[in-house]
């Protein structure tokens, strides 16, 4: 009877205590050409809920490319780079609010912290406050990038991960890891199980932008690139299974 009791209440030991989950705005498109696919949003919320239930502390940075990308605005002659980047930051807040609503429908406690002050809808980013929210079991969503133009949400994710002392950055994409080339265009592309930051530089692989990679390398912060759209991947990764590609110091 004791064994039965033990097995019934067994909780797997998680490999990580605190993570930074980086999600792309484009992933929220799903089957749409613009905006947010409610099915994808619901799926992400479900996956994050499963991860939170294991006791792992989760912070999230989400991009805004499904709504607006500063680079596109510049290339189209719409605005200058700084203005375009600020517009992109506002797009990330829209996505963050949508994700926050989805998570709360699953009963999760959340906090949205913005690098740009928007008191009516989110808290300003304060490092100690963010850490305290995580310690209390709340999911913390970081919006508005770094609050500065000329920086991507990849860099924002790396910066926030370092600031909150995360164990790892989990970059959720629509591919299952890092390849020698784009697997959607090159059928001969080979996947890496692990790769060093130095090798990423040498090969010019599109893992994150160079500023983000450098920040992670300097702070010995590993990155795992994985397919967020495959149900169960996030939970398996947190349990220590080989999922995606690990990018770390050699």
Q: Is the pLDDT of residue 75 over 90?
A: no
Task: Give the pLDDT mean for 10-32.
Answer: 82
Query: What is the band of 202 on the pLDDT scale with cuts at 50, 70, 90?
Result: very high
What does the CA dihedral 170, 172, 176, 179 come to, rounded to 10 degrees? Answer: -80
Q: What is the pLDDT of residue 206?
A: 86
Query: What is the band of 184 on the pLDDT scale with cuts at 50, 70, 90?
Result: confident
User: What is the rounded distance in angstroms from the CA atom of residue 248 to the CA atom of residue 223?
Assistant: 6
Question: Mean pLDDT, the chain, as a whole number?
Answer: 90
What is the value of pTM for the model shown?
A: 0.90
User: What is the rounded distance in angstroms from the CA atom of residue 9 to the CA atom of residue 31?
Assistant: 39
User: What is the rounded distance in angstroms from the CA atom of residue 86 to the CA atom of residue 248?
Assistant: 31
CB 232 within 8 A of CB 239: no
Q: Is the pLDDT of residue 100 over 90?
A: yes
Radius of gyration of the chain from its Cα atoms, rounded to whole angstroms: 18
User: What is the rounded distance in angstroms from the CA atom of residue 247 to the CA atom of residue 168?
Assistant: 10
Query: What is the band of 34 on the pLDDT scale with cuts at 50, 70, 90?
Result: confident
Provide, rounded to the nearest whole percent, the portion of the chain with pLDDT above 90.
75
Task: Give the pLDDT mean for 223-250.
Answer: 92
Q: What is the pLDDT of residue 13?
A: 56
């Amino acid at each position: 009877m004791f064994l039965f009791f033990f097995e019934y209440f067994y909780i797997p030991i998680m490999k990580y205590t605190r993570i930074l989950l980086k999600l792309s705005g484009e992933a929220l498109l799903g089957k749409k050409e613009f905006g947010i696919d409610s099915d994808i949003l619901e799926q992400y919320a479900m996956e994050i809920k499963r991860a939170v239930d294991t006791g792992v502390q989760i912070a999230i940075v989400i991009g805004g490319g499904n709504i607006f990308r500063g680079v596109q605005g510049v290339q189209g002659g719409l605005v200058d780079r700084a203005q375009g980047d600020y517009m992109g930051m506002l797009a990330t807040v829209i996505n963050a609010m949508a994700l926050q609503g989805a998570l709360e429908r699953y009963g999760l406690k959340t906090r949205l912290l913005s690098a740009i002050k928007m008191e009516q809808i989110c808290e300003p980013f304060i490092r100690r406050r963010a850490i305290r929210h995580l310690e209390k079991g709340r999911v913390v969503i970081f919006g508005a990038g770094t609050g500065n133009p000329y920086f991507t949400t990849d860099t924002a994710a790396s910066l926030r991960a370092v600031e909150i002392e995360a164990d790892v950055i989990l970059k959720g994409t629509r591919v299952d890891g890092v390849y020698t080339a784009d697997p959607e265009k090159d059928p001969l592309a080979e996947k890496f199980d692990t790769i060093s930051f130095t090798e990423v530089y040498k090969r010019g692989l599109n893992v994150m932008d160079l500023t983000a990679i450098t920040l992670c390398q300097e702070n010995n912060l590993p990155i795992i690139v994985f397919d967020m759209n495959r149900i169960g991947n996030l939970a398996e990764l947190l349990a220590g299974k080989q999922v995606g590609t690990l990018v770390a110091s050699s």
